[in-house]
Structure 1
Amino acid sequence: MLESQFQSKLIKELKKLFPGCIVMKSDSGYLQGIPDLLILFNDKWAALECKQHAGAKKQPNQEYYVGKMDEMSFSRFICPENKEEVLHDLQQSFQS
């Protein structure tokens, strides 16, 4: 599955899991390395960097921004192999 297909299915799943959430796609041309998706839900937010698979190459600055945004709220790399775990952690984060 291509990363774009995974991302598209993930957005649909996020909208089902978190009714009323806003999912925005980031512009990597504006800020290189910023995570692909920003999820706004009630008074919380999260950022997800989508990868085609667990071993997919990370672009420069992605580790930095995922780490920094995780310190601020919640941010993870997400791929088909870890999707269930990340979505579980995100649910916990949005409930706290």
Structure 2
Amino acid sequence: MLESKFQSQLIRKIKNEFPGCMVLKNDPTYLQGVPDLTVFCGNKWAALEVKKSKNASHRPNQNYYVDKMNRMSYATFVYPENEKEVLAELHKKFKV
């Protein structure tokens, strides 16, 4: 599956599972390595770096920003193989 297709499907799932939450796509040219998506739900947020598979390569700075943002709130890499676990983590973090 292409990363863009997986990302589109993931955005739809997040919007369905977390009604009223906002999903923003971040501009990769503004700050290289910042995760693809930011999810705002109530007073909580999460950053998600979307990959087409578990074994997809990481670009420069992606690990740095995912780690940094995870210390601030919640951030992770998400791919088809761990999508259910990430959505479950979002439910815990957002307490929905």
Pair in the same fold by TM > 0.5: yes
1:40-88 alpha-carbon deviations (Å, 9 max, x no partner): 1011000000000000000000000000000000001000000001110
How far 1:27 sits from its partner (Å)?
0.5
CA distance in 2, matches of 1:35, 1:95: 22
Partner of 2:45: 45
TM-score by length of 1: 0.98
Give the share of equivalent positions with the same residue, in percent: 53
List, as ranges, runs of 4+ consecutive aligned residues in structure 1 with deviation greater than 4 Å.
Answer: none
Partner of 2:76: 76
Matches within 5 A, 1:8-87: 8-87=8-87
Superposed CA RMSD: 1.0
Partner amino acid, structure 2, of 1:86: V
CA distance in 1, matches of 2:61, 2:94: 26
How far 1:95 sits from its partner (Å)?
1.1
Structure 2 unaligned runs (5+)? none
Partner amino acid, structure 1, of 2:59: Q
> 1:54 aligns to what SS in structure 2?
coil
Partner of 2:5: 5
Partner of 1:92: 92
How far 1:90 sits from its partner (Å)?
1.2
Partner amino acid, structure 2, of 1:72: M
